Structure 1
Amino acid sequence: MRHFALLLCLVGAPLAAQTPAEAARGAMVQLEDATAQLDSAESARDRVRALTEAVQAFETGLAAMRDGLRAASIRETELRRELNARDAEVTRLLAALSALGPDAGPKNFVHPDGPIGAARAGLLMASITPALTDAAADLRADVEEATALRQLQQDAADTLQTGLANIQIARTALSQAIADRTDLPRKFTEDPVKTALLIAATETLDGFAAGLSQISENEADLDLPAASNRKGRLSLPVSGEILRRAGETDAAGVTRPGILIATRPRALVTTPAAATIRYRGPLLDYGLVSILEPEPDILFVFAGLHSVFGETGQVLPEGSPVGLMGGPAGETNDIQSPSGERAGEALSETLYIEVRLGDTPEDPLGWFTEDKGRTE
């Protein structure tokens, strides 16, 4: 009696959903689509835009693959541990099922105490047999799921490796396409001497931003679509998570008027609106900076880049690449790691964003939607 009561406990474990496996398979399809985009970008009329879309597609696919495979690996580990922990119960279950045989039923429980004992045994058998069958089915489903998840991770290795290689190819091709681009209008010509003098005389971002108009020559009157008309609806320039909001103090006790976004290594940064490049290069303690002017008296400042695209004075269409974040390019083992991507390396880079209206900084989250800023 106690033996069968113990086996009934096995029925309580619910069958886990297949979401991790489905997510990983969906990511594999995304990476295959991104590869197709990269192939078609070679003959695209606007190679910069096509390659930008290909890089972003690879970023999305690799992020989804990273999350899907990590979830699959965690689920497989949980199943393996659960099965190992239930090893003794599994052994008893198999022994009980073997003893009952394929035609088990109440008649098997003929009790030496006579008809009443036999009736009780029959009732017990009638209630336990379905439970044993269900427990066996649950165990079989867990084993099959663990096996399928392991096979999925093995099958995904080639897709991952191809995706990581192709995003590097796409980034290199994008850099070259940007360097070869000659069709962008130019709003002004930079005076490098005045720029150097301004940098040397500047101690704050406020001072530098105020002096930007001094470094230009031959300003053209080019009308761009007004970004202020879409205030609050512009896309963030990079995918990631908002690490620090405007006015919050960092660990060093420094308070800045911009926001800090944690991004994945080598993430592509794009302009949220058509804008003129007012400055690109190193600045103070902000690292490598790109300052964009979507319309007069409005500046978007992106700081902390590893590399910047374009030339000062050029006018970039909306969605054009501005630069790349730093960090390692990524390896298959990093993406498949079940431990949370090697101590948080997934969002290891940070981009500082500041919006300035005239001489006054504004909260960037008043200009941008937060949707693109989240990486699930």
Structure 2
Amino acid sequence: MKYVALFLIFLAAPALAQDDPAVAARAAAKALEQASEQLDDADSARDRVKALTTTVRAYEDGLSAMREGLRRVSLREMDLRADLAEREAEISDLLGALMTIGNSEAPVLALHPSGPTGTARAGMLLADVTPALATRATALKEDLKEVSDLRQLQQEAEQRLTEGLQGVQLARTELSQAIDSRTDLPRRFIEDPVRTAILIAGTDTLNDFAAGLGEITQDEEPGSLPAISDRKGYLELPVPGKILRGAGEEDAAGVERPGIVVGTRPRALVTTPTAATIRYVGPLLDYGLVTILEPQADLLFVLAGLDQVYGRIGQVLPAGSPVGLMGGEMPAADEGLSQSGEGGGAQWTETLYMEVREGDDPVDPLTWFSTDKG
């Protein structure tokens, strides 16, 4: 009767969630494999910069998915091990019951001290309990196998993650080289470096600098790119990330700025959300490295806080062209994989500051960009 009560306890235990983390890890591994294939194909691509840009983004997405998948696999394994450890005594009793039933001869197993009536009742009870014990034993076996499979999956996925980190580093290097050597981009004007230096030295604010951008050009062609007003509110952010601070909100030092701060992953690739002319690229005031894009007349996108910038002043970039890389260091393959909570919470370690200026005035960038706003 002890084993019957024990089995009922097992039946009452809540089932573990069936959201399979192994599926996410394997899908991420496939994504990294495809990114590797894209990197190989980029050498023969007609537009190598575009191909490598796509490859870098594919690697970034794959690496993020792999880390989340591995984190979930690790948490699932921990849950299974903890559950098995908590029920160690009950599992031992269950195994003991199954061994007793398995080693006993059927005639002996069916006898009961109270006589034929007790023997009949015991036989009926045993007929009900034995399949249930076997079912629970099968579930236990599956749990133990899942622990083993998850451990093997972790080892395979960590190797794929290491390969992915190497692949994205190579893709970024090749992208930088391809951008430096490209000569097919049109230029609307040529920069006057002397006037640029004078403008930087004579301005104390981004407002003043933006207002004087027209003074640093030579041989500027009239007109501008086609208007994008019909896309207002639907543009994608120039880098995948999370809104950390909205327009006009105070920073830690109590300073209010009219732009937004986007948290990004380390070494994330920043691209132009639409075709645009590079109005300025380089260091500026206390903003670090800055790229100022002009997608249409009297509209500027200011991107600040990059670690590396691409392009030259006056170049006209197609939509989706790389304009820079964020700073920081890529985490090691085994770093932060077992953290609890949302896997991306610690990944937004770098910050991109973005302003949008219409005419002479800054406006909330979220009026132009589509985002979940945090």
Task: List gaps (5 residues or longer) in structure 1.
Answer: none
In the alignment, the residues of structure 1 paired with residue 297 and residue 113 of structure 2 have an alpha-carbon distance, to the nearest angstrom, of 98
In the alignment, the residues of structure 1 paired with residue 305 and residue 131 of structure 2 have an alpha-carbon distance, to the nearest angstrom, of 63
| 1:50 alignment partner in structure 2 | 51
| 1:186 alignment partner in structure 2 | 187
Matched, 1:283 2:287: no
- The answer to whether the 8 Å contact 1:105/1:129 transfers is no
In the alignment, the residues of structure 1 paired with residue 311 and residue 338 of structure 2 have an alpha-carbon distance, to the nearest angstrom, of 36
For 1:292, give the aligned amino acid.
L
1:345-364 correspondence to structure 2 within 5 Å: 345-364=346-365
- Could you tell me how far 1:13 is from its partner in structure 2? 3.7
What SS is found at the alignment partner of 2:254? coil
What SS is found at the alignment partner of 2:194? helix
C-alpha deviations, 1:328-367, integer Å up to 9, x for none? 1332112644457999542211111111111221111111
- Could you tell me how far 1:310 is from its partner in structure 2? 0.1
In the alignment, the residues of structure 2 paired with residue 119 and residue 204 of structure 1 have an alpha-carbon distance, to the nearest angstrom, of 94
C-alpha deviations, 1:193-219, integer Å up to 9, x for none? 221222222222222111211211211
| 1:35 alignment partner in structure 2 | 36
In the alignment, the residues of structure 2 paired with residue 341 and residue 108 of structure 1 have an alpha-carbon distance, to the nearest angstrom, of 53
- The answer to whether the 8 Å contact 2:267/2:328 transfers is yes
What SS is found at the alignment partner of 2:293? strand
For 2:156, give the aligned amino acid.
D
- Could you tell me how far 1:255 is from its partner in structure 2? 2.0
For 1:121, give the aligned amino acid.
A
For 2:76, give the aligned amino acid.
R
C-alpha deviations, 1:288-328, integer Å up to 9, x for none? 11110001110001111000000111111100001000011
C-alpha deviations, 1:11-67, integer Å up to 9, x for none? 334254252101110111111111111111101110000000010110111111011
- Could you tell me how far 1:157 is from its partner in structure 2? 2.8
| 2:6 alignment partner in structure 1 | 6
Task: List gaps (5 residues or longer) in structure 2.
Answer: none
- Could you tell me how far 1:244 is from its partner in structure 2? 1.5
- Could you tell me how far 1:3 is from its partner in structure 2? 4.3
| 2:109 alignment partner in structure 1 | 108
In the alignment, the residues of structure 2 paired with residue 253 and residue 90 of structure 1 have an alpha-carbon distance, to the nearest angstrom, of 59
- Could you tell me how far 1:145 is from its partner in structure 2? 1.0
What SS is found at the alignment partner of 1:101? helix
Distance 1:244 1:105, change over 3 A: farther
In the alignment, the residues of structure 2 paired with residue 27 and residue 140 of structure 1 have an alpha-carbon distance, to the nearest angstrom, of 28
In the alignment, the residues of structure 2 paired with residue 140 and residue 338 of structure 1 have an alpha-carbon distance, to the nearest angstrom, of 28
In the alignment, the residues of structure 2 paired with residue 284 and residue 184 of structure 1 have an alpha-carbon distance, to the nearest angstrom, of 28
What SS is found at the alignment partner of 1:52? helix
1:1-376 correspondence to structure 2 within 5 Å: 1-11=1-11, 12-17=13-18, 19-101=20-102, 108-334=109-335, 336-338=337-339, 345-370=346-371
- The answer to whether the 8 Å contact 2:112/2:119 transfers is yes
TM-score (norm 1): 0.92
For 1:198, give the aligned amino acid.
L
- Could you tell me how far 1:121 is from its partner in structure 2? 2.9
- The answer to whether the 8 Å contact 1:15/1:138 transfers is no
TM-score (norm 2): 0.93
What SS is found at the alignment partner of 1:203? coil
Deviates more, 1:113-122 or 1:230-239: 113-122
For 1:191, give the aligned amino acid.
D
Distance 1:70 1:323, change over 3 A: same
In the alignment, the residues of structure 1 paired with residue 95 and residue 265 of structure 2 have an alpha-carbon distance, to the nearest angstrom, of 48
- The answer to whether the 8 Å contact 1:288/1:305 transfers is yes
- Cα RMSD for the two superposed structures: 2.4
C-alpha deviations, 1:259-278, integer Å up to 9, x for none? 11111100000000100111
For 1:178, give the aligned amino acid.
I
Deviates more, 1:246-255 or 1:68-77: 246-255
- Could you tell me how far 1:116 is from its partner in structure 2? 4.2
What SS is found at the alignment partner of 2:93? helix
What SS is found at the alignment partner of 1:346? coil
- The answer to whether the 8 Å contact 2:75/2:338 transfers is no
For 2:136, give the aligned amino acid.
A
- The answer to whether the 8 Å contact 1:240/1:261 transfers is yes
